[in-house]
Homo-oligomer: A and B are copies of this chain.
Amino acid sequence: MNAITDTPAFTPSSRAKVRRRPQRARYDEKAVFEILDAGVMAHVGYVIDGQPFVTPTAYWREGRKLYWHGAAASRMLATVAESAPVCVTVSFLDGFVVGRSGIVHSLNYRSVMAFGRARLLTDPAAKRAAMDDFIDRLYAGRRLQLRPTTEAEIASIALVEMEIEEASAKQRDGGVGEKPADEGWAPWSGVFPVETRIGAPRPEPGMGAGGAPTPDLAPYAEGARLDAALTSAAATAQGLPVST
């Protein structure tokens, strides 16, 4: 993750600049988008009367914009003025690193911190398009199979758009660090990788057509890595016609 790439960069101000272990940080779109497109659950941070809140919520990305709805949207937007500063963080735990002294113990991870200002989507057509895009980002082509969303349902949804102003990506993926003083100590040392995978599908009794999952659900095949499934679904969605 430390190589310089030629994709557009998010120029970090002091806000996004990684202070601790800066050698693990990158600020280019490729690094940031790769991590964002491999996830579905973000932790959205916002401030109400000086109190920070961190709400886990489903999100998706379109270009340099992030979207989310639900709990984070409702509490945040019921209380905070428009253009509230937010921090959206997405992270993956990739492994446990155990070594010969306490200080070299670590976790392998990937993460993005994205900063911007939250804006409530209010136009019903824009909200409908965004919700369609979310379904298709996860399950390409699925919205065409669904009972159309009603106007009342669109009205009931709080939906936020945030243009990413700055972002940083950070990753640790190596083996065990060592200190000169560790020499000669012999506890088991190494890495326990951690992987998140899809389990066996559970069709809902009495609902839908039954049988095997349809092609829109193909990335979520039993045993698939979740980050790979979401990355693949995002790539497919980018090839779909834009929703109307």
Q: Which residues of the other chain, B, contact A87 by a CB distance below 8 angstroms?
A: 45, 51-54
Q: What is the total number of copies of this protein in its complex?
A: 2
A139 nearest CB across to chain B (Å)? 7
Asked whether any CB of chain B lies closer than 8 Å to the CB of A36, the reply is: no
Docked complex Cα distance between A195 and B195 (Å): 8
A102 contacts chain B at the CB level, 8 A cutoff: yes
Q: How far is the CB of A216 from the nearest CB of chain B, in Å?
A: 8
A residues near B, CB below 8 A? 15, 18-21, 40-41, 43-47, 50-56, 58, 70-71, 74-75, 78, 85-89, 91, 93, 95-96, 98-103, 105, 107, 109, 111, 113, 115, 131-132, 135, 138-139, 142-143, 145-150, 153, 156-157, 175-176, 178-179, 181-182, 185-204, 207-214, 217, 220, 226
Q: List 20 A-B contacts (CB under 8 A).
A: A20-B71, A20-B75, A41-B91, A43-B45, A43-B89, A45-B45, A47-B47, A56-B89, A56-B109, A96-B138, A98-B217, A99-B207, A102-B135, A102-B143, A147-B179, A175-B202, A187-B214, A188-B209, A189-B204, A192-B202
